[in-house]
Amino acid sequence: MSVYFPQKKLPYLLVLPQLVITAIFFLWPAGQAVLQAFYREDAFGLSQQFVGLENFVDLFQDPLYYKSMMVTMVFSFSVAFLGIAVALWLAVMADRVIRGKMVYQTLLVWPYAVAPALAGVLWWILFDPNIGPVALFLDRIGLHWNHFLDGDQAMILVVISATWKQISYNFLFFLAGLQAIPRSLIEAAAIDGASSFKRFWDIVFPLLSPTTFFLLVVNLVYAFFETFGVIDTTTQGGPDGSTNTLVYKVFKDGFIGLDSGGSAAQSIVLMAIVGLMTVIQFRFIERKVQY
């Protein structure tokens, strides 16, 4: 049986606020970006010149842009993988705890409340090669830490700082997912003599796959777009561009370099990449998900 609304306009009216918000805060600025990408403009906007695809051509002729792409891939997949793996492990552990469960769970969720820029500052102080306690400790055990000079170390630093916060978020979802798995399934497997590893791998993990898939998408989007605060406070994209991710480059070229056309072209490419990735994920990975 279906229900009919007497007025035809009411449903539109009800979704109108959301549409207006989307239009003002997404469509309009995104449209501006698309327009800007075809112009060359001085910083103050005093002169504007239509240049067609020149901004894009410049971009794809720039070897640094390809480097930035590689950096972004390494960074995003490391963040997503590490964040999901550690959170899953912690959630499984926290789910097993009998005493003081709430304490563990609360403490593990806590870091999520820390603002990204603040988290960056925190890690920056810890790892600062000149004053950071962690860096000094590593030096003492013979591992020379200087992320101002060593690109790999800089990458490790930004991956850790970006992941740390996200672990809490992932943890929350995994914990909820674990609690939704019927006890009877696990008990039945245990009676059949399945080891705890086997129980996890054959029952728990497949049942968690919708959560894992959801988190994969969310984490990749997070790593692509929202990690710029962390990078800004720790490495500013350095040394020699080894942590200059695409989104950070957009910021740097647009807001510091004041090159609005080039920066707009980059954000369009970035938008396309993430769109494409999301499509691929839904197309190919989601098939393996069991709801």
Partner 1 sequence: MRKLMLATSVLGLSIASSSFAATQIEWWHAMGGANGEKLNEIVKEFNDSQTQYTVDPVFKGTYTETMTSAIAAFRAHKQPAIVQVFEVGTATMMAAKGAVYPVYKLMQDTKADFDPNAYLSSVTSYYSDVDGNMLSMPFNSSTPVLYYNKEMFKKAGLTSAPKTWEEVESYSKKLLASGAQCGFTTGWQSWVQLENLSARHDVAFASNDDGFAGLDTNLLFNSPLQVKHISKMREWQQNGIFSYGGRRSDSAPKFYSQQCAMYTGSSSAFGGMTRNAKFDFGVSSLPYWASEVKQPNNTIIGGASLWVLQGKDKAEYQAAAAFLHFLSTPEIQAQWHQFTGYLPITHAAYELTKKEGFYQSHPGTEAAVLQMTASEPTVNSRGLRLGNFVQIRDVINGALESVWSGKESPQAALDTAVKRGDVLLRKFEKAHN
Give the x/- contact pattern for partner 1 in 48-87, rule: CB under 8 A: -x--------x---x-x-----------------------
CA distance 273 to 78: 17
What is the closest distance, in whole angstroms, from the C-beta atom of residue 157 to partner 1 in the complex?
A: 13
Interaction with partner 1 in 144-173: which residues (CB under 8 A)?
146, 148-151
Among 28, 110, 255, 282, binds partner 1 (CB under 8 A): 255
Of 21-29, 218-226, 256-264, 281-289: span binding partner 1 (CB under 8 A):
256-264
Using DSSP, state whether 245 is helix, strand or coil: coil
Q: Is 258 in the site for partner 1 (CB under 8 A)?
A: yes
Q: Is 252 in the site for partner 1 (CB under 8 A)?
A: yes
Residue closer to partner 1 (CB basis): 147 or 165: 147
Residue closer to partner 1 (CB basis): 54 or 286: 54
Using DSSP, state whether 39 is helix, strand or coil: strand
What is the closest distance, in whole angstroms, from the C-beta atom of residue 243 to partner 1 in the complex?
A: 11
Q: Is 139 in the site for partner 1 (CB under 8 A)?
A: no
| Token pair of 82 as six digits | 């590490």
Q: Is 24 in the site for partner 1 (CB under 8 A)?
A: no
| Token pair of 31 as six digits | 């449209």
| Token pair of 183 as six digits | 């006890």
Amino acid letter, residue 15: V
CA distance 224 to 211: 20
Residue closer to partner 1 (CB basis): 202 or 240: 240
Among 31, 52, 257, 275, binds partner 1 (CB under 8 A): 257
Q: Is 142 in the site for partner 1 (CB under 8 A)?
A: no
Among 107, 256, 272, 276, binds partner 1 (CB under 8 A): 256
What is the closest distance, in whole angstroms, from the C-beta atom of residue 129 to partner 1 in the complex?
A: 7
Place of tokens 């390809």: 66
Residue closer to partner 1 (CB basis): 174 or 251: 251
| Token pair of 161 as six digits | 């700082």
Residue 256 CB-half CA count within 13 A: 9
Give Cα separations from 59 to 25, 119, 268 (angstroms): 27, 32, 12
How many residues bind partner 1, per CB under 8 A?
A: 35
What is the closest distance, in whole angstroms, from the C-beta atom of residue 182 to partner 1 in the complex?
A: 54
Q: Supply the DSSP symbol for 288.
A: G
Q: Is 240 in the site for partner 1 (CB under 8 A)?
A: yes
Q: Which of 47, 36, 25, 27 is nearest to 250 (CA)?
A: 36
Using DSSP, state whether 50 is helix, strand or coil: strand
Run of H or E residues at 40: strand 39-41
Q: Supply the DSSP symbol for 225.
A: I
Q: Which of 102, 99, 94, 278 is nearest to 177 (CA)?
A: 94
Residue closer to partner 1 (CB basis): 146 or 209: 146
Other C-beta atoms closer than 10 Å to the C-beta of 35 total 12
Residues near partner 1, by CB under 8 A: 40-47, 49, 58, 62, 64, 128-131, 146, 148-151, 236-241, 252-253, 255-259, 262
